[in-house]
Structure 1
């Protein structure tokens, strides 16, 4: 399909989503999205998403205890915590600091905390992934980011901060939706959806090739797999999953 086809279909989507574009132009959509729509959407969406990712996440986080500090503690920092969908997979007794750029996730987060008493919650920081200055350098054993690198302003800047806060030998765990193969129909439709999707879903980018950023970061070891998560009718099926060691 040609670039003209992509532009035409983007225009059609823009017409269908014209009320949201108008609200965005008036400065109303972004605060509404952050405070109401996006927290509500994520809480409902992840109820479905978690059924699809339960097994991959169990496998992903299985070796988290291997990264305990010499003192036997496991200090974990989660960036883009959202509603706390990962807490159930963390080992008992680990100390978790939660960060998110959106303070309005705290209500959903508190529900997850109540369900996962095996985890010790240190604090919640309102911070973007690119600026974790409230977290001291080399102070955590593991960093977790799932479905967060799609919406940060700078993937490389976020990975730089991840490396800074990790102690030597610590690990970064990730699960991210990514761009499909450039020659595929999935990638075509990702390009079509891109502008409207990014507006509606609070800056979420569909076509990032995040594996390249991870490969170019200064990790000493990278364990990464490409997987597909069955989310019918959604342009976010291609994923990468794995962990990287500082």
Structure 2
């Protein structure tokens, strides 16, 4: 046995138990931290995001009103008076109530249990007026399973901030939309430059603290210019500020400004 082998044996004999304990503790902390993160994000979705959707109800009703006027490019759906909608970042399904009866809905979300939630939960009756065509696991930056030009409308609400690439997601949205199809968006945007709130949003995002706890959400994300440059024929938008009571006012304080509008393919 060489000198180096003897040295390794001696080190392992003296410190092996300590090393094993350190490794086990590290694995345990990592497991617990992942579980804590999942619980925090779940509480965030079922709590604040649900309350936020209620505050945005009047804006969404006006935004989605034109869905009833869309005529599907798909001959079969058109003959039945239905349309195909793709939603990115479905969360707890708060937007589904605004979709016309018979809508063929494609879901894009990281939550693998989303389908079960929408079909089998105690809230499933609220989603019974639409048909769930398919569920794609992802964030919308890659929609290879969706053929080009097969979707009549795409929806994102408070979702672009969590995508791997806003630019890639918008390219995919543009691609899958049928000619004349509509993109509906309501995305939170940061406060104006130079304000204290903007500084907090930047710090929480760049330190990765906020994204780590809240589903990769970037508080400093502003997709305005990206939407304008995505190639749409016509883009219409305005900014609105959500106000009202929520159980976690700090969340609303940091994401109250929104960009809301439509873009036509």
Question: Matches of residues 111-150 of structure 1 in structure 2 within 5 Å?
Answer: 111=121, 112-150=123-161
Distance 2:116 2:86 in 1: 19
Taking structure 2 as the reference length, the TM-score comes to: 0.77
d(CA) in 1 for partners of 2:30, 2:263: 42
The 8 Å contact of residues 82 and 109 in structure 1, kept in 2 or not, is answered as no
Match of 2:189 in 1: 178
List alignment gaps of at least 5 residues for structure 1: 1-21
CA contact (8 A) 2:40 2:213 kept: no
Rounded to whole Å, the distance in 1 between the matches of 2:41 and 2:117 is: 11
Q: Report the equivalent of 1:209.
A: 222
Considering only CA atoms, is the larger Rg found in Structure 1 or Structure 2? 2
Query: Which residue number corresponds to residue 233 of structure 1?
Result: 250
Per-residue deviation, 1:205: 0.2
The range that moved more, 223-232 or 53-62, is 223-232
Distance 2:102 2:200 in 1: 43
Aligned pair partner of 1:56 in 55, 59, 69: 59
Range with bigger deviation, 208-217 or 158-167: 208-217
TM-score by length of 1: 0.83
Question: Is the contact between residue 50 and residue 92 of structure 2 (CA under 8 Å) also seen in structure 1?
Answer: no
Aligned to 1:12: none
Establish whether residue 187 from structure 1 lines up as the match of residue 191 from structure 2: no
Partner of 1:15: none
**Equivalent residue, structure 1, for 2:83:** 74
Aligned to 2:90, the other structure's residue is in SS state coil
Cα RMSD after superposing both structures: 2.3
Contact 2:71–2:83 (CA under 8 A) maintained in structure 1: yes
Give the Cα separation in 1 of the matches to 2:53 and 2:258. Answer: 14
What is the SS of the residue equivalent to 1:163?
Answer: helix
* Aligned counterparts of 1:179 and 1:47: Cα–Cα separation in 2: 20
Q: Deviations over 1:56-77 (max 9, x none)?
A: 1101100012222152431111
Number of aligned residue pairs: give it.
224
In the TM superposition, what whole-angstrom CA distance separates every residue of 1:186-218 from its partner, at most 9, and x where no partner exists?
A: 212212322311111121100012111111110
Q: Which runs of 5+ in 2 are unaligned?
A: 1-25
